[in-house]
Amino acid sequence: MNQGATKSVSQSTIQRTLLRLGLRSRRLVRAPMLTAVHRRRRLEFARQYSSWTSTEWRQVAFSDESRFMLHRTDGRWRIRRETSERNHPATIAGTVQAGGGSIMVWGMFSWHSLGSLIIVEGTMDQYKYASVLADHVHPYMRIVFPQDDGIFQQDNARCHTAASVRAWFEEHQDEFTVLPWPANSPDLNPIEHLWDHLDRVVRAMDPQPRNLAQLATALESAWLNIPENTFRDLCDSLPARLAAVRSAKGLRQGGFSSPNTAVRLSRDVSTGHNVGSSSHGKVESQENRGPSHVCHYSKEDHPIRHIPVAHRTATAATSMNRSKSRMENNLGREPAQRLVVVARH
């Protein structure tokens, strides 16, 4: 913009020019760092599953953990005030130490149904995760995918890749498969949008939760009332997500700031794939599966459950045996006590 060494422009002129060009001041996006190895593996993943349509992705149950703070203090609020009003009560956002506490939750869902929302005491470790697998993942996969054609997705957190957890999955490999997932790729997991949905719903509540118990109740209510089309559209957006990663050469894909954007992009991606084929060899086309079963967890059937903290001195094998025993007890109950199944013909 300068015209020669002796010409200069004011700062306000530069700011107006940048605004006219659409270059506004924005915060850096916080996201897991991607190394060259991460980019390569993300690109390999996107290429490996490039032939999958929404039909195949409807056989995948997505899962993840997330943490919700009682009082969010992200500093994003903006107000307009006079200089003398700096300390006016109406212009102060009160803060509390550590945000007043937080709650970690674990959840899962597929195109067919929402799964349980679990309150995790403290931080998820391999022992608590073993309880989740036995008490929630296994029954869900057995009921929602009765033909043993389900695929379970999880990220690469340490508690998910512990030796005892890998052994549990090997014991159940005939019932469902585990989807290999690229590291540092939360942008590919559609459940992240459900966490955002829960956060927006809870923040819009009046009155706001005042303690962690009320926050847990609010999260449970928001989870149980997620519209069916919301999580179904998210599952159907996977082909578009992977297409965006391929276009970005493994970098973080953009354009998914909202589920609606992902759905719009998914309509524009043409895969030209035979929906009856799959690299897992277990996924069939929806037409070949017969009447679809839409499964819904009710509040009474699947309340939020607290995962007890296992003794740190317990070995992984002992913990897995306890989890297996709980799983067998759960499977001995009538499915109708845990799940309401609605068949659509």
131: CATH: 3.30.420.10
CA 264 to chain centre: 20
- Please tell me the distance from the alpha carbon of residue 269 to that of residue 144, in angstroms, as a whole number: 28
The tokens for 103 are 């709650």
Report whether pLDDT(127) > 90. Answer: yes
> Looking at the whole model, is its pTM more than 0.75?
no
Backbone angles phi, psi at 77, to 5 degrees: -70, 145
Residue 309 confidence (pLDDT): 39
- Mean of pLDDT over the chain: 75
Find the radius of gyration of the CA atoms of the chain: 24
User: Nearest 5 degrees, angle CA 256-CA 188-CA 271?
Assistant: 80
Residue 3 confidence (pLDDT): 53
- Please tell me the distance from the alpha carbon of residue 206 to that of residue 228, in angstroms, as a whole number: 24
- Is 297 contained in some domain? no
Query: What is the tens place of the pLDDT at every residue in 161-193?
Result: 999 999 999 999 999 999 999 999 999 999 999
- Please tell me the distance from the alpha carbon of residue 158 to that of residue 124, in angstroms, as a whole number: 9
Select, from the ranges 23-27, 139-143, 297-301, the one with the highest average predicted confidence (pLDDT): 139-143
310 vs 225, which has greater pLDDT?
225
Residue 17 confidence (pLDDT): 87
- Is 86 contained in some domain? no
- Please tell me the distance from the alpha carbon of residue 316 to that of residue 162, in angstroms, as a whole number: 9
Q: Which structural domain, as residue segments, surrounds residue 111? A: 35-72+100-252
- Is 313 contained in some domain? no
2 vs 234, which has greater pLDDT?
234
- Please tell me the distance from the alpha carbon of residue 260 to that of residue 136, in angstroms, as a whole number: 29
Instruction: Determine how many CB atoms are found less than 10 A away from the CB of residue 149.
Output: 18
Question: How many domains in the chain?
Answer: 1
The tokens for 124 are 């998820």
Residue 110 confidence (pLDDT): 97
- Is 272 contained in some domain? no
The tokens for 132 are 């989740």
